[in-house]
Structures are given as C-alpha cells and as structure tokens.
Amino acid sequence: MLSKIPAFNLKAVLRETGLAADTLRAWERRYGLPMPQRTGGGHRLYSQYDIETIKWLMMRQTEGLSISRAVDLWNEISASGTDPLAGSATLGMSNVSAAGSTSETTMNALRAEWIAACLNFNEVLAEQTLNKAFSMFQVEDVCLELLQKGMSEIGRLWYTNHASVQQEHFASGLAMRRIDALLSASPSPSRSQTVLVGCPSTEWHTFTPLLVSLLLRRRGLNVIYLGANVPTEQFAETALKVKANLVILVAQTLVSAASLQNTLQALSSQGIVTGFGGRIFNVRPSIIDYVPGHFLGTAIESSIQEVERLIKGKVKERMPKTASQSHLAALHGFNSKRTLIESTLKKNLQPLSISPEELNNGIYFLGNNIAAALQLGDMEHVSEEMDWLKTLLKAYSRPPQELSKFIESYSNAIDEQINGQGDPIKKWLQEYSEK
C-alpha cells in the first residue's frame, strides 16, 4: 500500500517525476490533482501516493490523453470505488536507488530492441518496446536516450550502407508519430513565453525540431511548431503575429544552413530573438560564425537550457561574419551563369554511362552545395557533403572514376563560363580531386 503521509518536498517530487514545477502547480490549481499538504510556512509536502498519482497522469499522456481527460479518467475510476493506482507498476522512491543501478543497462537494451524491430520492419514489437520504455522511464529520457540515439544509430547504419533508406524511413515514421502524439497530449502552456520552432526552406528533416518542441512544451512554454521547409516570409509573419519571444530554426544540411542564414538575417533585422542548431553546425562548426542569432549547442539537452537563458534575456547579441569578397564574387558569378555551367557540364559528360536522371541529380546536388558554401564563406564545407555522395555512389555500385571525371568536367565548365571569378570553386575542386 502506498503511503499517504506527506514526506517529500517539491524539489524531491520534481526530481522523481521529471515534471516542470510550473506544470505541476498548474495541475494542482486547475484540476485539484494532486492535492499536497502544506507546512506551517506554506511549503508543499507530498506523499508517496501523490508522487505515483503524478506518474499515473503522465503515463496517460504518453498514451495520447490530454491532461484534462486523464484527470477525468482518474475521477471516473475513483467514483467507481476503485483506486486508480491499484496494481500500479511504477516505482516508489524507496526503490529508485536499486533501479538506478540498472536503468542505464535497461535503456540500452530497450534501444537495441527498438532498433532491431525497426530494421526488421516489425511495427508491433517496436511499439511494444516504446510502451515498455515509457512505463519505466520519464518521457524526456525515452525521447532522448531511446528515440534520438536510436534514430542516430539507424542514420549511421544508412550512411555507411548497412541499412536501407526504407529501413531509415520506417524508423523515422514510427519515431515521429510517437513524438507527435506526445506533443498533442502535452499539458496546456503554463508560462507566458511563446517559442516558434521549425525548419528553413529546403530543410525536410523534422525529427529534431519536433523533439525540441515537445521538450519545451513539457517545460510549460507556449510552443508553436511550424514543421519543414518554411519560407522566410512565413517565419517573420508568424513570429510578429504571435509576438514570439524566441524563434528556433534547425538545419541538417549545408544547403539548408544557407537558407537558415537568410531567414535569421531577416528575423534579426526586425528585432526578433533567434536561436539555431542542427547536424551541419556540429560537423562544420565554423559555419556558426556566419549565422546571426544564438547557437543553441551541439546536444538537445543543453539547447533546452540555452532556450531558457534566451527567453530570460541573459545572452548577448553577437555580430556574425560575412563571406570574403572573393567568395561573394564567385557566388554572384556562379548564380548568374549556373545554367550555362551545368549545360556545358552535361555536354562534356555525355561519354559517361550515367543515366540522365542520375546526372541531373548529381549536378543539382553539387551546384546547390557550392552556392551554399560560397554564401557561408568556405568552399571546404562542401567536402563533408561530397563524402556522403561517395558513400551513396558506392551503395549504387558506381565506379569511383565517375566522380573524378565529374569533378574534372565541373572545373572545366567553371573555367569556361566565369574564368577567374570562379577561383574559390576551382581551387576546392582541384584539392578535393587530389584527396
């Protein structure tokens, strides 16, 4: 039987449940659940039963219920004469120390089980594994330690040609669906600040911004999630309309980082506070210096703390760098003559055994990355993306000579169409071909 003796202060309860203090107070104020006792000085004291009540409500949220519906369900069960916590499997605080010694191992095992289920397209097992994880750990822990790290591992397997794109998409779909459900079931905002989250134009990977939205919503913030490929004008329009305290953009690729830079410049010019992050800033950290706004860090956990600092106005503005004149001149020349450069390239590559679709995709991919790298001040940024292209060509059993011929022909086309104005591009192409 769970003890109803008030013995735990607010700090202990928050540590045990992972719930934000503002959210817990909002539940008590709006729904009368839980209902802690008070010390003579007015401080809250909770019983073990109160703690398990909070966990029960949080578990119903992970199952898709809103907090109001979860409270209604609690009241319905109680009215029937049954204790909602009868047979509860949640751990009491007296058992936490014992559980803590195995929690890391258990989470690792659950993550491995979920990855295996995804790679085998076993949706039932994957969902059962997630349900088991959410019954044992806090929502934030499962999202970060199982879903985020699990998706990262599957992405690594795909990148190294040990998993198919179908397996990666299957896992991503399951992970996104669960996080989306958790976001929909999150409590109503208990704080006044509004945060706008989304991806700039050309960015379609939404796992990270959706997860950030969930974590911030669970901290009581009013989060508006805009999703993928949002044009600059729509970001600015929405930010001003909702009076956003902060706008967060996430970019994973070099091309979307250039789009992100454009969007943040537009937002900053209107006095809107901005933050950013994503894979590309972790693998190419020098890009950060060329982007206005505040870098939120290399990990989602630390980025949440940065967001708290930003909305409290505790971070100073910084002046971003601009690309050199030679890079900007090359960008102007490349953009103005890109059609001619690419038509010349296609003509020179005709002897190769490349299908028109593959050739067009390769040209489009490299052209977009060259333009982005010039805009962000360093052609070397393209190397990271080209290494990925090498892996992709290998996956399709394409001979390495094709890439070498492609780069050589591209360099000749640049020289033919924009001469010395394209020196930063030619220099990089030459250095990359010699690697």
What CATH number did the domain enclosing 22 receive?
1.10.1660.10
Residues 193 and 306 in one domain: yes
Other CB atoms within a 10 A radius of the CB of residue 163 amount to 20
**How far apart are the C-alpha atoms of 26 and 382, rounded to whole Å?**
49
Claim to verify: residue 283 and residue 347 sit in the same structural domain: no
Instruction: Clarify whether residues 173 and 275 are in a common domain.
Output: no
Q: What is the dihedral of CA 371, 376, 377, 382, to 10 degrees?
A: -60
The domain spanning residue 137 has which CATH number?
1.10.1240.10
C-alpha count within 13 angstroms, C-beta hemisphere, residue 90? 26
88 lies in some domain = no
Q: What letter represents residue 134's amino acid?
A: F
197 and 307, same domain (yes or no): yes
Residue 46 CB neighbour total at 10 angstroms: 23
In a domain, 316, yes or no: no
Give the CA dihedral 9, 14, 19, 25, nearest 10 degrees: 30
pLDDT at 93: 37
Q: Which residues pair with 230 in a beta bridge?
A: 200
364 plus 428 within the same structural domain: yes
The amino acid present at 45, given as its one-letter code, is L
**Alpha-carbon span 404 to 58, nearest angstrom:** 56
Q: How many alpha carbons fall within 13 Å on the CB side of residue 159? A: 11
Splitting the chain (435 residues) into consecutive groups of 10 residues, what average pLDDT does each group show?
Answer: 84 88 89 88 88 89 78 78 65 37 70 94 92 85 94 86 89 94 88 95 95 94 96 93 96 96 94 94 95 94 91 83 95 95 86 73 89 96 77 65 81 87 90 78
Task: Domain count for the chain, please give it.
Answer: 4
Domain that holds residue 16: 10-79
For the chain, what's the residue count?
435
- 311 close to 304: Cβ distance less than 8 angstroms: no
194 and 307 housed in the same domain: yes
Whether residues 202 and 271 share a domain: the answer is: yes
321: closest CA among 261, 275, 278?
261
pTM over 0.75: no
At 97 the pLDDT is 35
Whether 305 and 330 map to the same domain: the answer is: no
Instruction: Indicate if 296 and 218 belong to the same structural domain.
Output: yes
Residue 319 inside a domain? The answer is no
Task: Confirm if 41 and 164 have CB atoms less than 8 A apart.
Answer: no
Judge whether 4 lies within some domain. no
pLDDT at residue 77 in the model: 76
Instruction: Give the residue from 212, 195, 193 showing the smallest Cα distance to 251.
Output: 212
**In-domain check, residue 1:** no
Is the domain of 354 the same as that of 420? yes
